[in-house]
């Protein structure tokens, strides 16, 4: 029987995530059988020795790692579940199989206000530069920002922005500069975060993960 599942076989370890769960929590599972070309029997998720109830008709995301391909995922719908001896779930694949881009480095398109502070030295004078900018994408490692001040590659800047109601202040380095033509901004900067607090980085990655998950569900990535 030909299978629609890329590199999945009986015994493959997978992760299951509930689409309606906004926490982004995933549960370990395993492929028990490939029933039809587009249907799997998998082990039901268990947390702290307790069964995690997955309902019939519920949509779930199933992801797994394939050597030389990376992490893949697809959306499936729960057809049935069974509690006799072993907790099992029957899932029908309802989407194409796609590759997950790792969330720390995935560049998420976004629109965020970013306040930039920079100190520039001219002869004996130190000038404080403040520029209200706009982020066009963000990742766990940096941003693309539109601004009006002409920075130089290697400039050290302080960025302030808010994600999920949390104010984040992080030092960054200007790594790339392009002139652009927009109504509001003159330059596009590629910046990389430096000296970022772990909890701030976790907040950024969490935000990227949440938005990436929404885009995956919509089939946009």
pLDDT per residue as tens digits for the range 31-61: 999 988 899 999 998 888 888 889 999 988 8
Q: HSE (CB half, 13 Å, CA atoms) of 155?
A: 21
pLDDT the model gives residue 120: 77
Q: Do 13-99 and 108-216 show the same overall fold?
A: no
The single residue listed with the structure tokens 């104010």 is 167
pLDDT above 90 coverage of the chain, percent: 38
Strands (E), 23-141: 26-36, 39-43, 46-47, 50-51, 59-66, 70-82, 88-93, 98-99, 108-122, 125-138
| Whether pLDDT at 103 is above 60 | no
Q: Which CATH number applies to 108-216?
A: 2.40.10.220
Question: What fold is seen in the domain 13-99?
Answer: Pnp Oxidase; Chain A (2.30.110)
**What element of type H or E holds 215?**
helix 198-217
Of 217 and 17, the one with more pLDDT? 17
Each residue of 132-164: pLDDT tens digit?
Answer: 999 999 988 899 999 999 999 889 999 999 998
Alpha-carbon distance 192 to 203, whole Å? 16
Task: Centre a 10 Å sphere on the Cβ of residue 143 and count the other Cβ atoms it contains.
Answer: 26
Domain segments of the chain: what residues?
Answer: 13-99, 108-216
Mean pLDDT to the nearest integer, 66-95: 88
Higher pLDDT, residue 124 or 209: 209
């Amino acid at each position: 029987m030909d299978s629609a599942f890329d590199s999945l076989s009986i015994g493959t370890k997978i992760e299951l995530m509930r689409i309606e769960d906004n926490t982004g929590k995933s549960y370990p599972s395993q492929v028990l059988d490939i029933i039809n070309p587009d249907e799997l029997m998998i082990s039901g998720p268990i947390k702290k020795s307790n069964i995690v109830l997955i309902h019939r008709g519920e949509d779930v995301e199933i992801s797994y790692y394939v050597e030389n391909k990376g992490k893949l995922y697809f959306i499936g719908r729960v057809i049935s579940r069974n509690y006799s001896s072993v907790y099992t779930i029957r899932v029908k694949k309802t989407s194409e199989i796609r590759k997950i881009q790792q969330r720390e480095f995935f560049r998420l398109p976004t629109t965020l206000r970013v306040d930039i502070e920079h100190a520039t030295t001219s002869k004996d004078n130190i000038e404080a530069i403040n520029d209200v900018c706009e982020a066009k994408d963000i990742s766990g490692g940096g941003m693309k920002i539109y601004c009006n001040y002409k920075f130089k590659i290697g400039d050290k800047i302080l960025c302030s922005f808010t994600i999920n109601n949390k104010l984040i202040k992080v030092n960054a380095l200007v790594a790339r500069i392009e002139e652009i033509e927009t109504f509001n901004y003159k330059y596009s900067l590629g910046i990389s975060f430096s000296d970022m607090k772990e909890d701030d980085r976790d907040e950024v990655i969490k935000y990227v993960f949440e938005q990436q998950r929404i885009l995956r569900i919509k089939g946009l990535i």
